[in-house]
Amino acid sequence: MKAYDIIIAGGAMAGATAALALDTLSGGQLRIAVVEAMLPDHANHPGYDARSIALAQGSCAALESLGLWSALAPFGTPIQQIHVSDRGHAGQTQIDANAQGVPYLGQVIELADAGRVFHQQLSHRSAIDLYCPDYVEHIHREQASVTVELKQGETLQAKLLVAADGGRSPCCQQLKIARQQHDFHQVAIIANVSTALPHQGVAFERFTRTGPVALLPMSQGRCSVVWCVSPDEVDHWLSCGEATFLDGLQTAFGWRLGKLLHVGTRHAYPLVLNQVVSPVSHRVAVVGNAAQSLHPIAGQGFNLGLRDVITLAEVLTAASAHGEDLGAMQVLTRYAQRREADRETTIATTSGLVHLFSNQNAVLSATRNLGLGLMSALPSLKQPLIQRTIGWVART
């Protein structure tokens, strides 16, 4: 049996960031085990597949404070402007980096690139042991410790287990950690497209009858597409030819980037709000998508998860410096209380936007378009949206 201070189940974005933040803030004083099922280059890795993430400017600054951004920066495409519109209506608004006094609103990074960077970082930290490919098969919680048995035969023991193993979280399932779910009755089709006109660092979010469609600027002139459609349309859009797909996407998105020329491999993800009732349990903390899987509207999911893992790292390193038990409930409760307001507000905001802009009621449609118009005319009205979009959110 190998002893650690902390075991992290899951070494994709949330788990890797948690481990690196803990190692950095503790000055390498905490012994950390990271258990990851798949190598980052694996074609079917659920955390590092064809998707991209939009890191808010505040998230990039947080990663920079931990010394992690410089390795990711070469793979990022800056978002200089965000354009929000409602298909079939005049209301629209824009958020501009220059107007906000920041170098960019966010950065778009392919998860495959982030995966390779973080995997390499984990491998070079002497206080971190990376078990990959491997996964947690059994968890045993006792009063003063938690023990995990890995598929490859190793047994690890620590004061705390951090579950960062994705939206389906086998760890949470095994421990029967209570969850709440809400089905948005939408499916996200994810792909990369090329366009006739250059994106010029502009990200687009356009609301349609079936849900939002977002185009995020990427390297090599590409855009990452997140197209939310109704479940009964998914098979058609996944199986149809390229020309048919591009025609449908063009109709939904419009012509702001000219003709859509080419689309890569398409993937589909059902959209369900899936959150743990509490992010802490006896000897366990839950972070990232394991704690809450959000609708991709406004790109808040990973940015919220990043604020979670950095706060957890701060709480745990402070507790360690004071000689406290890292898995004690009073320590974990401190973390949960610090994150409660941001977590609840972000979940409520994203879910509310989905329902507001997916509802075809004439009164609601008129109201939301008036709201978009007013936000353009009166910048103070859109400041709360700007702050959350840029990631200027207090972690308390």
Q: What is the CATH number of the domain that holds 313?
A: 3.50.50.60
| pLDDT for residue 371 is more than 80 | no
Total structural domains in the chain? 1
Taking residues 21-32, report their average pLDDT.
Answer: 97
Domain assignment present for residue 192? The answer is: no
pLDDT value for 21: 97
Per-residue model confidence as pLDDT tens digits over 173-232 = 999 999 999 888 999 999 999 999 999 999 998 888 888 899 999 988 899 999 999 999
| H/E run at residue 84 | strand 81-86
State the chain's mean pLDDT as an integer. Answer: 87
Domain assignment present for residue 81? The answer is: no
Q: pLDDT band at 61, cuts 50/70/90?
A: very high
| b/e map 357-386, b = 16+ CB within 10 Å | bbeeeeeebeebbebbeebeeeeeebeebb
| H/E run at residue 71 | helix 69-72
Q: What is the pTM of this model?
A: 0.88
pLDDT value for 41: 63
Own/partner pairs for 152-156, CB < 8 Å, 24+ apart? 154/2, 155/1, 155/2, 156/1, 156/2, 156/3, 156/4, 156/7, 156/33, 156/35, 156/131
pLDDT value for 28: 96
Taking residues 315-320, report their average pLDDT.
Answer: 97
pLDDT value for 175: 97
Domain assignment present for residue 316? The answer is: yes
Domain assignment present for residue 45? The answer is: yes
The three-class DSSP label of residue 290 is helix
pLDDT value for 51: 75
Q: pLDDT band at 88, cuts 50/70/90?
A: low
pLDDT value for 346: 86
Alpha helices in 254-361 (DSSP H): 301-321, 329-358
Report the chain's C-alpha Rg in angstroms: 21
The three-class DSSP label of residue 192 is strand
Per-residue model confidence as pLDDT tens digits over 270-300 = 998 889 999 999 999 999 999 998 877 767 7
Domain assignment present for residue 229? The answer is: no
Which domain does 165 fall in, by range?
Answer: 2-54+111-180+274-356
Domain assignment present for residue 162? The answer is: yes
| pLDDT for residue 128 is more than 80 | yes
Domain assignment present for residue 195? The answer is: no
Domain assignment present for residue 298? The answer is: yes
Greater model confidence, 88 or 268: 268
Per-residue model confidence as pLDDT tens digits over 110-126 = 888 898 899 999 999 99
Taking residues 27-35, report their average pLDDT.
Answer: 97
The three-class DSSP label of residue 272 is strand
Q: pLDDT band at 360, cuts 50/70/90?
A: low
Greater model confidence, 181 or 394: 181
Nearest to 14 by CA among 294, 376, 333: 294
Greater model confidence, 181 or 9: 9
Percent of the chain at pLDDT > 90 equals 67
pLDDT value for 370: 44
Q: What is the DSSP letter of 176?
A: T
Q: pLDDT band at 151, cuts 50/70/90?
A: very high
